[in-house]
Structure 1
Amino acid sequence: MNKWPIFWLLFLTFFCFTASAKEVWVIPVQGAIGPATSDYIEREFQLAQQQDISLMILKMDTPGGLDSAMRSIIQNITSSTIPVATWVGPNGARAASAGTYILLASHIAAMANATNLGAATPVAIGISGPESSPSDENSPSSQKDAKNSEQVSAKTTLEKKVINDASAYIKGLAKLHGRNEEWAEKAVREAASIDAQTALAGHVIDFIADNLEQVIEFANGREILLLGNKNKLSLDEVSLIERVPDWRYSFLATITNPNIAYILMLIGIYGLILEFYSPGVGLPGVLGGICLVLAMYAMQMLPINYAGLAFILLGLLLLVAEAFSPSFGALGLGGIVSFILGSIFLMDSDLPEYQIAKPLIMALALLSTTFILLMIALLLKIRRKTVTTGVDRLVGRLAIVKDDFDTGQGWVEIAGEIWHASSADSLLAGQKVRVKQVSGLNLIVCANEKNSLME
């Protein structure tokens, strides 16, 4: 029996299996880099390593992002068993701030024409400038100068620590793959930014590619350093697969939007307050509980300033106190001021993408102010009203004598109710009397001026 056909059949089967296993995944990295981005990329890395992918390409267009999310992505890249290429594209894209670190950490760094990277200077947070407070105006000049000097010194020290740390970090990433360490440090210390042509000439990137096919073409046959070992990329006849973010990414990206997390927190708190105010309804409590849990989950992934959060909670407590024990605006206005301050300070980041929109803060503050003013107006209107219910309302009304008042006491009927009454006058059954005073459960009555018997 001829064994050659079986041999060729096995060889072709093996070759087809090998060829089908060569896949290149394209993972989009667009917009601000945050918790949703790092979570999505981490899951993609885990799945890719299980399926033995040939190459992963991060298709990048980002203005930057959070330091924690950036470092998480870089850790996944540097510990990956699969080569990672970062491509800044298409034309017009950028890899600013956090994107520059990720690009330099990748095994292959590429850019399209008309793109740029850089401006990787971190922003020091939490130290204010040497502005004098109102209380400083009355202090001696030497004391103000000393205080300003201390503030400047504290700010400078913190900035040096942050910049030195970032500079050492980005230089280490550039050195890892033999890229321009000098420019990397310049991107941090001077916020330098360069285009694709300058980056290629300065050995910051490996090549320029205007599309994904060119990235694969230029990367094929290159030697890279993968987990400390040199590897030569073999990307012949690979299939290009563009990955689409799943529902979890969309969900996390939505709730970790500072504006959405802020609104969820307020809905949650107000929902619980409404449920406590009128228990038994159920819907406000359930909706408020769900929104509050989602808000807390989102905020633990965001750079939160806890002083700002405390201001918001204090403001809401003061608004609730105004509702339960009206102070004609004192508590309510204090709560609104505290609420606005807390909303402004809530996000501990200078990135515009991770700030609460000022119009949203003003709209909610205006809504709360309107609510307080309406409540004060209603309270004043209620105070001016005459008594319409209760025992005091009986004074001045007419009653009908049920039996003769032989001893100056007897029973009268008023508003459909039978009351015990006393009078200094002699009264007859059926006679109309007027209520002069209410003393406990006894009415003091007198004969009506237009006295008549009921027929």
Structure 2
Amino acid sequence: MESRCQLALFRFLFVLGLLLLSAVSTLVQAERSTDRREVPRLTIDGAIGPATADYIVRGVAAAAENGAPMILIQMDTPGGLDTSMREIIRAIVNAPFPVVTYVSPSGARAASAGAFILTASHVAAMAPGTNVGAASPVQIGAPGLPPASDPKDGSGDKPKDGTSTPQKPASTSEAKALNDAIAYIRSLAEMRGRNAEWAEAAVRDAASLSAQAALDQKVIDLIARDDADLLAQLHGRAVKIGGGEVRLDTQAVALANVDPNWRTRLLVAITNPNIALILMMIGAYGLLFEFMNPGALYPGTIGVICLLVGLYALSALPVNYAGIALIILGMALMAAEAFAPSFGILGIGGLIAFAIGATIMFDTDVPQFRVTLPVLGAVAVASLGATLLTMRLALQSRHKRVATGREQMVGTVARVLDWEGQGGHVQIHGERWRAASTVEFRSGQSVRVIDVQGLTLMVEPPA
């Protein structure tokens, strides 16, 4: 009896120990999770466009809702659209927490729009082997034009800092864009206490710097080899947020990658100018086929969906309205070729208008947001094929025998149903017609129609 009691007590103590161990483990894990705060890491890799802006803006808003202590933007970009860049900068400037932008990995760059974003960030960091700059908004001047200064008098020499000689804007619009960009990047640099003179040179002269040179000239705040080195250097740094100051605590911080959601991935796809152009063409041809064959439903349904998605993509991209007008004119002329065959005049004219419109449709100097020549050529060839097919059908129909109307009846063979004197009735195409002739026929005999007078067929014996 005593041994049984000891065994039961041992079992009770063993279970109690397991429960206590489990509780302690849970508390330790909770304490670790509490101590190890997560910092969202957003990634900009490639050209900056509407999808990138949506991804960053939503990421900053989500981090603010979740109470994140800071946010990290890892960047490698050749530049992008001005409107998208400004959306990102507004989100960074108005963020309730520090935003750290890190140009990484080695070999990455923060060019053009990327230089603006790096300058606007609360903390600007770069990895070794990266570069920043070349932030001119438009191409100033044209290839082959002489520089603004005369090299003979020595004024065309390069400045001592290695930047190129500034050139005068070729037009008033370029001058306005240049001055606006200079004022914008200077205001951002002055707000963050960085080198505003170099920031202006990056826009005016397309100046660029390596990571070490950027640190020496106070363009950035630090150089970090990797994430661990970055977090170590950020710890204890004072950052101004609004009217106050925040001291970063990155000792117990874990970086959490924020991947683009389905909305961002869809926006990336449809805001590709090549995809937008193809969607517009599918939509136009879908509606055209639906009008040519009412009730087919499939071409019309697919065409409307593609056209609406394409129009949404155009609304998010910088477009040239002259290019859109030429594309619409080209589509209208190609559609007119199908309904009023002109043996290629309308179709070829529409194809030329469409090709020119697609070339100038996107008003941007960013190569990633222009229609590529292979896609333009493929769309043009497809449109040319549709035009040639329409021309072929028109020529074939011109040489074919008439299949409907009064002209179709002439020459057709009919069968006599009944006949009396110089008139009777015949059957043709399953219909009963009154017939007349100078020749008398008998029932069942075949006759040939030679004329149609009102509702009476003039017939004669078949040849």
2:40 equivalent in structure 1: 25
2:203 equivalent in structure 1: 188
How big is the shift at 1:448?
6.6
Q: Is the 8 A contact 2:238 2:246 kept in 1?
A: yes
2:283 equivalent in structure 1: 268
* 1:433 to 1:197, Cα distance in 2 relative to 1, 3 A: closer
Q: What secondary structure does 1:221 align onto? A: coil
User: Which segment is superposed worse, 313-322 or 227-236?
Assistant: 227-236
Q: What secondary structure does 2:371 align onto? A: coil
Deviations 1:368-391 (A, max 9, x none): 111211221222122122345655
Q: In structure 2, how many angstroms separate the alpha carbons of the residues matched to 1:64 and 1:85? A: 18
1:444 aligns with 2:458: yes
* 1:314 to 1:398, Cα distance in 2 relative to 1, 3 A: closer
Q: In structure 2, how many angstroms separate the alpha carbons of the residues matched to 1:53 and 1:155? A: 47
What residue identity is the alignment partner of 1:94?
Answer: R
Q: In structure 2, how many angstroms separate the alpha carbons of the residues matched to 1:263 and 1:72? A: 27
Q: Is the 8 A contact 2:110 2:133 kept in 1?
A: yes
1:208 equivalent in structure 2: 223
Q: In structure 2, how many angstroms separate the alpha carbons of the residues matched to 1:428 and 1:59? A: 96
1:339 equivalent in structure 2: 354
TM-score (norm 1): 0.83
Q: What secondary structure does 1:191 align onto? A: coil
Q: Is the 8 A contact 2:36 2:252 kept in 1?
A: no
* 1:373 to 1:177, Cα distance in 2 relative to 1, 3 A: same
How big is the shift at 1:260?
1.3
How big is the shift at 1:282?
2.0
2:377 equivalent in structure 1: 362
* 1:390 to 1:96, Cα distance in 2 relative to 1, 3 A: same
2:10 equivalent in structure 1: none
What residue identity is the alignment partner of 2:335?
Answer: V
What residue identity is the alignment partner of 1:20?
Answer: D
How big is the shift at 1:195?
0.9
* 1:59 to 1:421, Cα distance in 2 relative to 1, 3 A: same
Q: What secondary structure does 1:444 align onto? A: strand
What residue identity is the alignment partner of 1:312?
Answer: I
Q: What secondary structure does 1:300 align onto? A: helix
**1:409 pairs with one of 419, 423, 436:** 423
Q: In structure 1, how many angstroms separate the alpha carbons of the residues matched to 2:411 and 2:172? A: 80
Q: In structure 2, how many angstroms separate the alpha carbons of the residues matched to 1:51 and 1:109? A: 23
Deviations 1:69-110 (A, max 9, x none): 111111111111111111000011010000001101111111
1:423 aligns with 2:445: no
Q: In structure 2, how many angstroms separate the alpha carbons of the residues matched to 1:122 and 1:403? A: 89
What residue identity is the alignment partner of 1:115?
Answer: T
Gaps of at least 5 residues in structure 1 are 1-8, 132-152, 450-455
What residue identity is the alignment partner of 2:191?
Answer: L
1:26-425 to 2 correspondences below 5 Å = 26-123=41-138, 155-387=170-402, 391-396=406-411, 405-406=420-421, 408-412=422-426, 418-425=432-439
How big is the shift at 1:443?
3.0
How big is the shift at 1:218?
0.8
* 1:395 to 1:82, Cα distance in 2 relative to 1, 3 A: closer
How big is the shift at 1:392?
3.8
Deviations 1:196-236 (A, max 9, x none): 11111111111111211111111111122211323222222
Q: In structure 1, how many angstroms separate the alpha carbons of the residues matched to 2:457 and 2:389? A: 39
Q: What secondary structure does 2:259 align onto? A: coil
How big is the shift at 1:129?
10
Deviations 1:304-323 (A, max 9, x none): 11111111111111111111
Q: Is the 8 A contact 1:24 1:56 kept in 2?
A: yes
Q: Is the 8 A contact 1:314 1:339 kept in 2?
A: yes
How big is the shift at 1:447?
5.6
What residue identity is the alignment partner of 1:116?
Answer: N
* 1:431 to 1:339, Cα distance in 2 relative to 1, 3 A: closer
* 1:237 to 1:366, Cα distance in 2 relative to 1, 3 A: same
Q: What secondary structure does 2:171 align onto? A: helix
Q: In structure 2, how many angstroms separate the alpha carbons of the residues matched to 1:398 and 1:87? A: 87
How big is the shift at 1:401?
5.5
What residue identity is the alignment partner of 2:302?
Answer: L
Q: What secondary structure does 1:224 align onto? A: strand
* 1:431 to 1:88, Cα distance in 2 relative to 1, 3 A: closer
How big is the shift at 1:254?
1.1
Q: In structure 2, how many angstroms separate the alpha carbons of the residues matched to 1:402 and 1:248? A: 72
Q: What secondary structure does 1:73 align onto? A: helix
* 1:129 to 1:388, Cα distance in 2 relative to 1, 3 A: same
What residue identity is the alignment partner of 2:118?
Answer: L
How big is the shift at 1:432?
6.2
Q: Is the 8 A contact 1:347 1:354 kept in 2?
A: yes
* 1:316 to 1:188, Cα distance in 2 relative to 1, 3 A: same
Gaps of at least 5 residues in structure 2 are 1-23, 146-167
Q: What secondary structure does 1:281 align onto? A: coil
What residue identity is the alignment partner of 1:444?
Answer: M
How big is the shift at 1:18?
8.8
How big is the shift at 1:424?
3.3
What residue identity is the alignment partner of 1:43?
Answer: R
What is the total number of aligned residue pairs between the two structures? Answer: 416
1:139 equivalent in structure 2: none
Q: In structure 2, how many angstroms separate the alpha carbons of the residues matched to 1:170 and 1:85? A: 17
